[in-house]
Chains A and B, each alone.
Chain A
Amino acid sequence: MKNILLITLVILFSLFLLIYGESGLSYNYDLIWQLRLPKVLVCILAGGTLAIAGLLMQVFFQNPLAGPDILGVTSGSSLFVAFWMMAATGLSQSSLEWGMSAMSFLGALFVFLILLFFVHKNMSKVSLIIVGLLISSFAGSGISILVNMSQALQLKNYLTWSMGSFRNITSLEIPRFLFLSLLSLVPVVFFLKSINQFLLSENYAKSMGVNVKKLKFIFISLAAFQVSVVTLFCGPVGFIGIISPHLAKQILKRAQLHALLPAVFCLGALLALLAETVLVFTPTLSISVNAILGLIGAPVIVLYLYKQRGNLQ
């Protein structure tokens, strides 16, 4: 029931953003089809994909504070993309773009491997979060050095991208984004049973016949894929990944993945649509999506930590 309510909300928000844009209320056919519909689709899929990535990471690390941005996966992806943007000059447009996709994925994967190393060394959950934050700041330093070394045009491209936005995708890129994000999402459905078994712990999952090594590989590659697709097309987007799973759990009062998955996706989509709606109402301020998401996300996390005090070791 609540899942249906959430889906309805996503649809209502989307319809609103289709008829109401920065230029106000308008039903112009071309405007809706060429400009607003792509933006709405990107919001839904980018938000939903980040939220699912957050959910996978929270189950995988058995850590309610895990998320693509907080563990540095988004920054890793950004750093590799920034490097490619600055370094790959003189390539054809298509090899430039495919190279960027690959670098974005490799960056995310690279951070996952670092995190995995520390998990295997039995690092505590809180320390892992700190490592994630340090990876972010390390990547941030790398990026700022690259920015200093770059030329004006590349710099502008990069800065626009690094703000994070659901609008920068051109209508030419839309099909590629839709295809890649769906490709990163669909496999999750086939592993819901194993992920449910993994909810208790790795050893319990193993004792119930789960091939844990295979499942871990799937967890990491899917989450890295999801984060990198969104980061590539929308820039680094924060908070959606970490808070959507919590909101979904609080709303549904369920833990099983079958029940949670649609709600988590919808909440990610809703957060993205909500942020975009705020932007639509403040066209002159040129606020970034991340600023809005930070205003919503940070208090939600603090509230969660407050409720969980004593439970997080």
Chain B
Amino acid sequence: MIINEKNILEIENLAIGFKGELLNNINASVMPGTLTALMGVNGVGKSCLLKTISRLNDIKNGSIKLNGIEIKKYSPLEFAQSVAVVLTEKFNVDFLRVDELIELGRSPYTGWRGELSEADKKIVATIISQIGLGSLKEKFFSQLSDGQKQKVLIARALAQNPKLLILDEPTTYLDIPSKIELIKLLKVIASQNHVAIVMSTHDLELIRDVVDAIWLIGLDGSFVKGSPAEINSAGLFKKHFHVEKY
């Protein structure tokens, strides 16, 4: 594989899994400022791949490089300053305000007491206005709708000032208008903040005109990457999702 100096993320001959190997021979790369969709039916290992990239799961074999350096060589703090995540797991914390939750994203940069500097506060304020959360920032997170919650979690992740943003099924529980809004927002974030975004999703029809690349994990454990048009013309959606045509 030709290593492109500009790639933020490079995955080579990667094998992932929990106990045994779930998938192997994964090769892919991501450029800054691009939006990549990870697709595949439930249970093929999308979450596992995303968690492996974000160091929440261990690598079984092969390598993942961030900015040309093996991810396991990063210290926890260095890594948190480069990669941020939005996960599927739900949490139920009463009385946690939206702005407080977003400020948590600055914690890889703050001292032992977790107090935000003026610069930190400025970054958080910028993100809140970029995502359009100004009117919600003093509300409690637990009172928000699912769509609003996703936006807050994305804002929290952006507060880490990541070079790579990983989202596990961010659109799953949303209604159609919220899904469209969220995907547009991610596209804007990718280009404006120059962040590489990798998200898993099932919403093929919503993302195929928006994303720069699709990674497809097939039912047979194959891993294919390409532009939406390439994947479509190769008939892979039909093969792996049992759908006739997109």
Q: Which residues of A contact B (CB under 8 A)?
A: 62, 190, 192-193, 196-197, 199-201, 203-204, 206-211, 249, 252-256, 258, 311
Chain B residue, CB-CB nearest to A212: B76
CB contact between A207 and one of B56, B97, B100 (< 8 Å): that residue: B56
Contact B110 A193 (CB under 8 A): yes
CB distance from A195 to the nearest CB of B (A): 10
Closest A-B pairs by Cβ, 4 of them: A209-B80, A193-B114, A255-B96, A209-B77
Contact A209 B85 (CB under 8 A): no
Chain A residue, CB-CB nearest to B81: A209
Which B residues, 93 to 111, have Cβ-Cβ distances below 8 Å to chain A?
93-97, 100-101, 104-105, 107-108, 110
Contact A253 B95 (CB under 8 A): yes
Contact A62 B91 (CB under 8 A): yes
Contact B107 A193 (CB under 8 A): yes
**How many B residues are at the interface, by size bracket?**
20 to 34
Flag whether B79 is at the interface (Cβ < 8 A). yes
Chain B residue, CB-CB nearest to A211: B76
Flag whether B54 is at the interface (Cβ < 8 A). yes
Contact A256 B100 (CB under 8 A): yes
Chain B residue, CB-CB nearest to A257: B114
Contacts A200-B93, A256-B100; A207 near B107 (Cβ below 8 A): no
Contact B95 A249 (CB under 8 A): yes
Residues of A close to B54: CB separation below 8 A = 207
Contact B160 A193 (CB under 8 A): no
Q: Which of B81, B84, B93 has the most CB atoms of chain A within a 10 A radius of its CB? A: B93
Q: How far is the CA of A29 from the CA of B113 in the complex (A)?
A: 43
Contact B77 A200 (CB under 8 A): no
Contact A208 B95 (CB under 8 A): no
Contact A209 B93 (CB under 8 A): no
Chain B residue, CB-CB nearest to A193: B114
Q: How far is the CA of A206 from the CA of B56 in the complex (A)?
A: 7
CB distance from A62 to the nearest CB of B (A): 7
Residues of B close to A209: CB separation below 8 A = 76-77, 79-81, 107-108
CB distance from B187 to the nearest CB of A (A): 23
CB distance from A128 to the nearest CB of B (A): 15
CB contact between B87 and one of A204, A210, A211 (< 8 Å): that residue: A204
Contact B91 A201 (CB under 8 A): yes
Residues of A close to B105: CB separation below 8 A = 208
Residues of A close to B155: CB separation below 8 A = none
Chain A residue, CB-CB nearest to B89: A201
Which B residues, 59 to 81, have Cβ-Cβ distances below 8 Å to chain A?
76-77, 79-81
Contacts A193-B107, A249-B94; A210 near B76 (Cβ below 8 A): yes
Residues of A close to B80: CB separation below 8 A = 207-209
Q: How far is the CA of A200 from the CA of B87 in the complex (A)?
A: 11
Can you identify 5 A-B contacts, CB atoms within 8 angstroms? A199-B104, A200-B91, A208-B107, A209-B81, A255-B94
